[in-house]
Structure 1
Amino acid sequence: MFHFLIPRFIHHTTLQCRNALSLFFNPRYFSHQSDNNLTLSNLVNSCNLSPETSLKLSKRLKLVKNPNGPDAVIQLFRNYGLSDSQLSKLVKKRPFLLLSDPQNTLLPKLKFLQSIGVSTTDFPKILIGNTSFLSANLENNLIPRYQIVRSLVRDDKEVVSALKHGSWIFYNDSMVNDSVPNIEILRKLGVPQRYVSLLVCYFPSVAFNKHSVFVEAVDSVIEMGFNPLQLNFVLALRVIVSMDKENWESKFKIYAKWGWSRDVCLLAFRKRPQCMLMSEKCINKAMSFLVKDAGHTPEDIAKFPVILSRNLEKVLVPRFAVVKILKSSGLKKSGLTLGSFTLISGEKFLEKYVTPFQKDLPLLLDAYKDAYKAHKTD
């Protein structure tokens, strides 16, 4: 019955697809096989599969020995935290998961992930991020790869973090194989394990990159004067590996428009590697405010490049408004470097630059709030 229903649903509207998906996950439809077929059609349609894939899937579903198999697969994923919309994404990326044996093929892999600390909150991101994980062999592929990743970090919690930021690492032979010599280079240079773990957990595309590319990046970072014992070493490594030469050179041109020479750019990069990852729009927006509105020189900004990544509307504009009032009133003149009031927390800023002066300037807090609102609506 199922394969005759597929064409009827292929051309449904988006709204009908959404209704069909909600229909599929209504528990009362799990009791009758004819209804199961109908709702499976709706699920396939909601995923916008091609007619060819839909027809092939419907024919193979018809041959499944256990008629409740597809429903058992769906229910298993629901038990591990996948919502209706997440199930739709998963099936869209890998429709033939519906044909899997839930108990013998899928469940052992899900239990393995659970055993290393993957929570129901983590499962959707990891599984949708790499659906190939579910088709890999547990004993011959997944566990050996887990052991490699585990050897690079401090505990299973960090393995899970690496999976969430790059679930493909469990299914990519070349990446996993390159990671061991890559990390070995860092350890020989004396890079602390906490920074190695940061690279593996949050920037796996860097740690698992091609070895020759990684070696070249390490050499470049050392040549630029970064200390392997400091955090900025791995942050700079992340930038160099992530950017091609054309993109790297384009950032020098953008900053040059605001008066930064190449040497000044490199100085700022050594202080704050992330400044070279900012988009042209963000750089221009921050520089325009700091130079034109706040009246600071490009050289001043280069001494505190982290200021460029501070939120313009929520942090820079309201804080500069307060500092301007304090200066003009003569209540605060010393200790007002760029870093002193832009790099601290919001709570600390209010405690240091607003609360002590409210007796003399009762509207200072309002000015702080109004500056944020005014710039937000510009």
Structure 2
Amino acid sequence: MEESWSNCRNVANFVNFSVNPLQSSLAFSNSSFSSAYATVTSSQETRKEQAFTVSYLVDSLGLTTKLAESISKKVTFEEKRNPDSILNLLRAHEFTDSQISSIVTDYPRLLLLDAEKSVAPKLRFLQSRGALNSELTEIVSSVPEILGKDRSFVVYYDFVKEVIESDKSSSSSSSSSKLCHCLAQGSKQENKIRNLSVLRELGMPQKLLFPLLISDSPHVCGKEKFEESLKKVVEMGFDPRTSRFLDALRTVYTLKKETMEEKVNVYKRLGFEEGDVWEMFKKWPISLTHSEKKIKRKFETLRKCGLVEDEIRLICKKFPQVIGVSEEKIESSVETFLGIGLSRDEFALMLKRYPPCVGLARDTVEKKAEFFVKKMKWRLKELVSNSQVFGYSMEKRIVPRCNVIEALLSRGLLGSNVPALSSVLVCTDQSFLKKYVKKHDDDKQLVLVLMDVFQQRETRT
């Protein structure tokens, strides 16, 4: 009976649509309009919340607008009661303004947690165990994400404390076995603490170790496979003090032996020697995670830049990260460099000399090109010959050195022409100072002035 009634309703709906298509069309239009209106309204609400969040972060923590905008892409809120309660709680436990700003920057979701029900009990518990405020604030500031953990919060806190204290005493000793007793045997948390302790003993620094602590990535939560993968990565010669070590560990852990062999064969079919493939892997372990289709597509894109097969392989061997750059990014890079006055042949030459240029942002390239050509009067030809200068830091390298050159030019100590770009920017700091500052040792006052100009970079960074 129920099935018959359902069928009757279906027929009736069909008849209604057939008899009055205009009415159904209007209903559909109204529905579409409502959906579109809801989308617009939702978008407006999101922008409103982001604007409030940015204003709050700037006013309450003194963050820059740029940083606050970046944080607002991760979390937003429309009223200040909850974030205020979190900030007041942290201040009550003697966290400094600097520490609080750092905590919110690293873990903005903290502002969304319930201060009294979630965060306060953890801080009180740590104090009940004898944690001094100075210890508590230092450890929580190092890994604020542990405040968002529940079951493993205490063990994670103790691990961070142990690492920080052993670093202060220049000791690599570990008591992971004691920490693991607090965790279920064979659990992800137990495996993680044990694995991180091993990485710690290998010399992995805090900046790499602590993010793994609050991660659930399989390559740090396994056991037998972790040990096997770690052994391979160590034997390959990766430095555990670098992020590249973790990229290699993740890749080896994730890919089966057969899969890795097939990835190597993909590159061999494109003309690479097997030794070249492993050298690329050492430079950029993620190179073995891309599909054959993606690698071939990257070759095709680079051909459009005016490169031939041998040149593409050479670029990949020098800078395998180019394989991970999107086709859109490469095409945009071509347009950017053509836009500053280079020809396609000159761009191809730049790409061969400095492959990372394909990953540079448009505004970065344009800003540096304008500085080099308009302010310093260097020719575009010099930029092509020394294309690595586009990768140098404006604040730490380019501006300080050029300020020294301008100071010398204004005193008539370099003639009327600016020195060659390569002699100013490509050399080391030591060589630059020897050539343009220390040669004036007979004028102590001038040397002091030039060094002051050069070292102003430290106050800006």
TM-score range, shorter chain: 0.5 to 0.7
The aligned residue for residue 352 of structure 1 is 435
The aligned residue for residue 295 of structure 2 is 214
Q: How high is the sequence identity, in percent, across the aligned residues?
A: 16
Structure-2 change in CA distance of 1:285 and 1:307 (3 Å): same
Q: How does 1:1-378 map to 2 (within 5 A)?
A: 13-15=85-87, 18=90, 19=93, 20=120, 21-26=122-127, 28=129, 46-47=147-148, 73-74=155-156, 77-78=159-160, 81=163, 101-105=183-187, 106-115=189-198, 117=202, 119=204, 121=206, 122-133=208-219, 135-136=221-222, 138-139=223-224, 141-146=225-230, 149=233, 154-155=236-237, 157=239, 161-165=243-247, 168-169=250-251, 172-173=254-255, 178-183=259-264, 185=267, 188=273, 190-191=275-276, 196-200=281-285, 204=286, 206-214=287-295, 216-217=297-298, 220=302, 223=308, 225-226=310-311, 232-239=315-322, 241-324=323-406, 326=408, 329=412, 336-359=419-442, 362-363=445-446, 365-367=448-450, 369-370=452-453, 373=456
Shift of 1:329: 2.8
Shift of 1:270: 0.6
Structure-2 change in CA distance of 1:120 and 1:288 (3 Å): closer
Shift of 1:290: 0.5
How many Å separate the matches in 1 of 2:221 and 2:458? 51
How many Å separate the matches in 2 of 1:275 and 1:132? 34
Shift of 1:323: 3.3
Structure-2 change in CA distance of 1:310 and 1:79 (3 Å): closer
Structure-2 change in CA distance of 1:104 and 1:326 (3 Å): same
How many Å separate the matches in 1 of 2:162 and 2:435? 47
- RMSD over aligned Cα, in angstroms? 4.5
Larger relative contact order (Cα-Cα within 8 Å, sequence gap ≥ 6): 1
Q: Is the 8 A contact 1:319 1:368 kept in 2?
A: no
Q: Is the 8 A contact 1:272 1:306 kept in 2?
A: yes
Stretches of structure 1 lacking an aligned partner (at least 5 in a row): 1-9, 31-42, 50-56, 62-69, 84-97
Query: Match of 2:446, as an amino acid?
Result: L
How many Å separate the matches in 2 of 1:337 and 1:313? 20
Shift of 1:272: 0.6
How many Å separate the matches in 2 of 1:336 and 1:311? 20
TM-score by length of 2: 0.54
Q: Is the 8 A contact 1:72 1:102 kept in 2?
A: no
Shift of 1:17: 5.5
Structure-2 change in CA distance of 1:371 and 1:349 (3 Å): closer
Q: Is the 8 A contact 1:226 1:270 kept in 2?
A: yes
Query: Match of 2:390, as an amino acid?
Result: L
Shift of 1:366: 1.4
Structure-2 change in CA distance of 1:218 and 1:145 (3 Å): farther
Output one character per residue of 1:90-120: Cα deviation in whole Å (capped at 9) or x when no partner.
Answer: xxxxxxxx9x835543445543454462646
TM-score by length of 1: 0.64
Shift of 1:29: 6.8
Stretches of structure 2 lacking an aligned partner (at least 5 in a row): 1-81, 94-119, 132-143, 166-179
Which of structures 1 and 2 has the bigger CA Rg? 2
How many residue pairs align between the two structures? 311
How many Å separate the matches in 2 of 1:124 and 1:335? 48
How many Å separate the matches in 1 of 2:400 and 2:293? 47
Q: Is the 8 A contact 1:269 1:275 kept in 2?
A: yes
How many Å separate the matches in 2 of 1:235 and 1:365? 41
Q: Is the 8 A contact 1:178 1:211 kept in 2?
A: no
How many Å separate the matches in 2 of 1:177 and 1:371? 54
Shift of 1:162: 3.5
